[in-house]
Structure 1
Amino acid sequence: MNGAMSWPFLRLYLLVLFYFSANAILNVFIPLRGEALGATNTTIGIIMGAYLFTTMFFRPWAGQIIQKHGPLKVLRFILIFNGLALILYTITGLGGYLIARMMQGVSTAFFSMALQIGIIDALPEEDRSQGISLYSLFSYIPGIIGPLLAIGIWQGGMGYFAIVMVTIAMLTGLFGFSANVDTPKTQPMTDQAHSSGSIVQSLSQLVKNPDLCRSSAFMLVGSLIFGATTIFIPLYAVQVDKGNAGIFLMIMAATVVFARFTLRKRIPSDGKWHAPFMIGTMLLLALGSQSVSIAIYGGAFFFYIGAVLIGTAQALLYPTLTTYLSFVLPEASRNVLLGLFIAMADLGVSLGGIIMGPVADMLSYSWMYMVCAILSVAILGVVVYDRKKVVVQE
């Protein structure tokens, strides 16, 4: 095998699998633990959202630091830091969970940036979408069994939780220290790249660069819905007739894995904006959110159909937009701007908890998912506006 499926890249994908295993468990365990301790949806949303909100904050710096010091040195430090965060979960309560989530957020900012930048730099252009899709795929494989494992751990008690967290921390560290993330194109940071990558200057590109702005808008809304789904499904499932949170999240994760593997060659990798593809993806997300919303009345059938539709949209959205931006962003500042784009994905997931938690408290889980469906349709106005703009320019 060669290209995105060669052994050096498979080692990186396996490292991704180990790293994200803990989060697949925590995504279910923390809401259940929080509810048992009397926390409101708003509090649970803040704790869960703190993870990727912190990741978002550190993303723009991650690209620069990794390019300056090299991915291997950064990776080894980050894996130790992440291990400490996992151990912290085992000895604290809700307050400690918030700190641990923030520590995980810092770790993920550097971990994911190091691997994704390495994949983009090392692969030829025609294989970029496959590499990014496989990275995303392996980050979601733990989600297939993680939710059911989390429920089993919850029923078994905190002792089992501590054993699992410590084991994952050790395995991730041992496997990560033996991995090599250096790529042929990794080079020291030049003065031009440092200047072009100025964080303050680059932030303005979220508005000034139309490609980055449009892609970030789609990713923000999509990630908000993914975040709301992951965080609150464990609590909403008990209201759905024959609904099971573990099965829902397992189906969604399995759909993401299956779709990303089978459709990886169909994801555009030509540097062009494919409006019909994006419209179809967001409509899938809208239908999935609406299906989950009406599951409170229609039962488990609509509940699990929503998992399939949301999983399919999730499988397509991130690799499509990331690959597109890898072509159209300026080479000198690409790493930092990609960091900003991924930060928007992180922000969206965080807002899924921070904003949608209060919505669920004020209305209901069903209405909250209906709001998600409305948002995924409303963002399609960006595509319509872009088409009108192109016609005027022509």
Structure 2
Amino acid sequence: MRLYILTLFYFSANSILNVIIPLRGESLGATNTTIGLIMGAYLFTTMFFRPWAGQMIQKHGPIKVLRIILLINGLALILYTFTELTGYFAARMLQGVSTAFFSMALQIGIIDALPEKDRSQGISLYSLFSYIPGILGPLLALGLWQSGDMTGFTVVMVVIAIGTGCFGFTVKMNNGEKRSEPPKAAGGSMIFRSFGQLIHNPYLFRCSVLMLIASIVFGAVTTFIPLYAAELEQGSAGIYLMLQAVTVVLSRFVLRKRIPSDGKWHASFMMLNMLLLTSAALCVSLAVHYGAAIFYCGALLMGIAQALIYPSLTTYLTFVLPEVNRNILIGLFIAMADLGVSLGGVIMGPMADLMSYSSMYLLCAFMAASLIALAYRKEPGRWHKQVPS
């Protein structure tokens, strides 16, 4: 429970920054492309550090790594309080580094600690606590922004940085001491060889493609909803993000036992998830024509899809990936999720500049729809476990 509470504290800053940064960028005259680059820098950096994080945590244990990255995270949050766009970009990268190690430490610990039948529930609860701040964070961010005084924002960032650090330094984990050395094959060269498994391992390939495209949609929502909502009559970014976060939290709690945890590919279940994602993006796109009601309906559908897709794919991979480098390969999979969220800002920003927010979200709906056939495809008999060479 202390680890879950630490997760809540750690991700509380992002629920505020995801609203403040786009609004602040627009007020400074930044284009959607620039805003997308700044927002995307966070998880783009995280993506590169995920595989290394998995290896370092396995070698040194989570506690030592956790304390170092909490200091880095605190530095990043304080950097937001006295800099502008360039400083925001640097702070996002620092956050990306710390998040790579933080999330890997907690998720690997959950996977190692729980019996197989409970893995999906453990991962879902971790994700649930990471989304709880999104319930009130966006509304707080809008309140801070509309006050016209950034002093309140400074105070909140400093309090979160200090509070997260102090609480994190008191947390204890089982097996916190230095672990036994990984096999020789698990050295740095194994990390680079493991990148090939993204293509050659059919389990990892399919899950990574699904997660990458889905995350692009999630990233586009996170980055540009604060700006798109201003174009809608009676549309509120705070209400949308709050509804989405509440839906994610409730869905992950209520539906956690429905997420498969048997190592089998449930084609109909995954197809339903992609249909939800497609419908959500379509609702957001059409909101400019049909009003706030369909906009908020998109928030509910997006929340359900986000609650189910990531833990379902992650749990499935914990069963089918070879144990010798499972942590590294799961790190690569999570890196694909990070890359997708990053690309949701980096790629969809120029699309919004060239077209409109509504057209950009329609493109997201088409991308999500393209995944339905891949999700529904049953596993051929030739898809067997592959041990890396």
TM-score between the two structures when normalised by the length of structure 2: 0.96
Q: Residue 336 of structure 2 corresponds to which residue in structure 1?
A: 344
SS in 2 for 1:390: coil
Q: Residue 365 of structure 1 corresponds to which residue in structure 2?
A: 357
In structure 2, which of residues 182, 191, 194 is the aligned counterpart of residue 199 of structure 1? 191
Cα distance change on mapping 1:393 and 1:248 into 2, 3 Å = closer
Instruction: Kindly report which structure 2 residues correspond to 1:238-253, keeping only aligned pairs within 5 A, or say none.
Output: 238-253=230-245
How far 1:241 sits from its partner (Å)? 1.4
Q: Residue 222 of structure 1 corresponds to which residue in structure 2?
A: 214
Report the Cα distance in structure 2 between the residues aligned to 1:327 and 1:393, rounded to whole angstroms.
Answer: 14
Letter in 2 for 1:258: L
How far 1:191 sits from its partner (Å)? 2.6
Cα distance change on mapping 1:392 and 1:125 into 2, 3 Å = closer
Q: Residue 258 of structure 2 corresponds to which residue in structure 1?
A: 266
For the 8 Å contact 2:63–2:176, the answer to whether it is kept is: no
Q: Residue 5 of structure 1 corresponds to which residue in structure 2?
A: none
Task: Confirm or deny that 1:304 pairs with 2:304.
Answer: no
Instruction: Kindly report which structure 2 residues correspond to 1:101-180, keeping only aligned pairs within 5 A, or say none.
Output: 101-156=92-147, 157-180=149-172
Provide, for residues 231-270 of structure 1, a one-character-per-residue CA deviation record: whole Å limited to 9, x for no partner. Answer: 1000000111110000000000000000000000110000
For the 8 Å contact 1:192–1:332, the answer to whether it is kept is: no
Letter in 2 for 1:15: L
For the 8 Å contact 1:212–1:341, the answer to whether it is kept is: yes
Report the Cα distance in structure 2 between the residues aligned to 1:239 and 1:88, rounded to whole angstroms.
Answer: 31
Report the Cα distance in structure 2 between the residues aligned to 1:281 and 1:383, rounded to whole angstroms.
Answer: 9
Q: Residue 375 of structure 1 corresponds to which residue in structure 2?
A: 367
Letter in 1 for 2:123: I
SS in 2 for 1:198: helix
Letter in 2 for 1:143: G
Q: Residue 19 of structure 1 corresponds to which residue in structure 2?
A: 10
Report the Cα distance in structure 2 between the residues aligned to 1:324 and 1:371, rounded to whole angstroms.
Answer: 29
Task: Confirm or deny that 1:280 pairs with 2:272.
Answer: yes
Q: Residue 72 of structure 1 corresponds to which residue in structure 2?
A: 63
Task: Confirm or deny that 1:390 pairs with 2:380.
Answer: yes
Which stretch of structure 1 is more off in the superposition, 151-160 or 362-371? 151-160
Letter in 1 for 2:136: I
Task: Confirm or deny that 1:61 pairs with 2:52.
Answer: yes
For the 8 Å contact 1:60–1:340, the answer to whether it is kept is: yes
In structure 2, which of residues 222, 228, 240 is the aligned counterpart of residue 236 of structure 1? 228
**Alignment root-mean-square deviation, CA:** 1.7
Which stretch of structure 1 is more off in the superposition, 196-205 or 88-97? 196-205
Q: Residue 98 of structure 1 corresponds to which residue in structure 2?
A: 89
Report the Cα distance in structure 2 between the residues aligned to 1:169 and 1:99, rounded to whole angstroms.
Answer: 16
Task: Confirm or deny that 1:49 pairs with 2:47.
Answer: no
For the 8 Å contact 1:70–1:182, the answer to whether it is kept is: no
The count of aligned residue pairs is: 383
Report the Cα distance in structure 1 between the residues aligned to 2:102 and 2:78, rounded to whole angstroms.
Answer: 18
Letter in 1 for 2:30: A
Q: Residue 87 of structure 1 corresponds to which residue in structure 2?
A: 78
Report the Cα distance in structure 1 between the residues aligned to 2:168 and 2:186, rounded to whole angstroms.
Answer: 28
Report the Cα distance in structure 2 between the residues aligned to 1:192 and 1:134, rounded to whole angstroms.
Answer: 34
Report the Cα distance in structure 2 between the residues aligned to 1:87 and 1:261, rounded to whole angstroms.
Answer: 33
SS in 2 for 1:90: coil
Cα distance change on mapping 1:391 and 1:336 into 2, 3 Å = closer
Task: Confirm or deny that 1:331 pairs with 2:323.
Answer: yes
Report the Cα distance in structure 2 between the residues aligned to 1:187 and 1:131, rounded to whole angstroms.
Answer: 22
For the 8 Å contact 1:144–1:251, the answer to whether it is kept is: yes
TM-score between the two structures when normalised by the length of structure 1: 0.94
How far 1:195 sits from its partner (Å)? 4.5
Identical residues among aligned pairs (%): 65
Report the Cα distance in structure 2 between the residues aligned to 1:173 and 1:151, rounded to whole angstroms.
Answer: 25
Report the Cα distance in structure 2 between the residues aligned to 1:260 and 1:13, rounded to whole angstroms.
Answer: 14
How far 1:197 sits from its partner (Å)? 7.2
How far 1:393 sits from its partner (Å)? 8.4
For the 8 Å contact 1:16–1:135, the answer to whether it is kept is: yes
Give ranges in structure 2 of 5+ residues lacking alignment.
385-389
Provide, for residues 114-173 of structure 1, a one-character-per-residue CA deviation record: whole Å limited to 9, x for no partner. Answer: 000000001111111110000000000000000000011112321111100000001100
Letter in 1 for 2:74: G
